[in-house]
């Protein structure tokens, strides 16, 4: 296995491949993502430990969605068991994935802690009856130094864990080394990763424009509130479908693309 440098324009190709693959098996890909979200929601109901467990499951769930994307790309229907494949490859692989999950949970708690440390003391926000987001609330959010401190720390965390589940599972890299290799791969392909992120931002913005137009034409804010949550989940499922392609093209083996 070695690092593969791709052109920056590949980032847009990853977005396109993710959308195309999602629509090959939309029910399967959306269903698997919803299953993960439902599991996280249930675990989060348990005070403290539930949040830690839900964060620790993210690398394993990401791996499952990568595998499901590969299955869908090859024309096969990904089964629900794909989501637990990280824990079906033997005790050593299970242990490594659990360690990676614990490291991810610890990293996210550190990000949250830094954000809280830099957050200013503010008065409680008064909720408006219709849930309206006012310009003042938006400005207050972006003027919060805790938000920016957390984002600065979150970016390298995302880079370190981006490829890590695939490296641990398919290439038997140790959890700690997988973080280093993932960070280096994201940095080496920073142009493609930047355009990949911008591409998904454009998709999300276009979806928001379409939903607002439909709301104005058909039913006002009531319709918008009805469709916005499932639309967000579908876009998130589509985004997670595309992650596989970033991993596939960032590493190569003697036989060809990684995994």
Q: Is residue 3 part of a domain?
A: no
Q: What is the pLDDT of residues 86-125, one digit of tens each?
A: 998 889 999 999 999 999 999 999 998 888 887 765 544 4
Q: Is residue 2 part of a domain?
A: no
For residues 157-177, give the mean pLDDT: 95
Q: Is residue 158 part of a domain?
A: yes
Decide: 194 and 11 in contact? Cβ < 8 Å: yes
Q: What is the pLDDT of residues 172-188, one digit of tens each?
A: 999 999 999 999 999 99
Q: Is 40 helix (H, G, I), strand (E, B) or coil?
A: helix
Q: Is the pLDDT of residue 126 over 50?
A: no
The percent of residues in the chain predicted with pLDDT above 70, rounded, is 85
**List of residues 6+ apart from 224 with CB closer than 8 A:** 211, 212, 214, 215
Confidence category of residue 151, pLDDT binned at 50, 70, 90: confident
Q: Is the pLDDT of residue 31 over 70?
A: yes
Distance CA(81)–CA(74), nearest Å, equals 17
Of 52-56, 123-127, 131-135, 247-251, where does mean pLDDT reach its minimum? Answer: 123-127
Q: Is residue 1 part of a domain?
A: no
Query: What predicted TM-score, i.e. pTM, was given to this entire model?
Result: 0.84
Q: State how many domains the chain has.
A: 1
pLDDT for residue 254? 62
Of 21-30, 80-89, 128-137, 142-151, where does mean pLDDT reach its minimum? Answer: 128-137
DSSP 91: H
- Structure-token pair, residue 51: 């949040």
Q: 127 lies in which domain range?
A: 8-257
Q: Is residue 112 part of a domain?
A: yes
Q: Is residue 107 part of a domain?
A: yes
Decide: 53 and 46 in contact? Cβ < 8 Å: yes
């Amino acid at each position: 296995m070695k690092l593969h440098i791709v052109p920056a324009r590949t980032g847009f190709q990853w977005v396109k491949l993710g959308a195309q693959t999602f629509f090959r098996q939309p029910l399967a890909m959306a269903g698997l993502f919803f299953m993960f979200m439902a599991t996280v929601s249930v675990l989060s109901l348990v005070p403290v430990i539930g949040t830690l467990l839900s964060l620790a499951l993210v690398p394993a769930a990401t791996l499952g969605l990568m595998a499901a994307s590969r299955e869908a790309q090859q024309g096969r229907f990904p089964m629900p068991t794909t989501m637990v494949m990280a824990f079906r490859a033997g005790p050593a692989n299970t242990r490594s994935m659990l360690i990676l999950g614990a490291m991810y949970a610890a990293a996210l708690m550190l990000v949250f802690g830094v954000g809280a440390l830099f957050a200013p003391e503010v008065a409680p926000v008064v909720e408006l009856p219709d849930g309206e987001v006012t310009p003042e609330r938006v400005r207050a959010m972006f003027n919060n130094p805790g938000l920016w401190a957390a984002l600065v720390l979150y970016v390298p965390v995302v880079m370190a864990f981006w490829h890590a589940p695939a490296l641990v599972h398919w290439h038997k890299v140790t959890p700690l080394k997988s973080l280093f290799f993932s960070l280096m791969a994201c940095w080496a392909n920073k142009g493609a990763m930047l355009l990949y992120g911008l591409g998904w931002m454009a998709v999300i913005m276009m979806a928001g424009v379409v939903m607002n137009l439909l709301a104005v034409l058909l039913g006002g804010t009531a319709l918008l509130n009805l469709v916005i949550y499932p639309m967000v989940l579908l876009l998130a499922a589509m985004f997670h479908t595309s992650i596989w392609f970033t991993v596939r093209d960032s590493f190569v083996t003697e036989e060809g693309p990684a995994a």
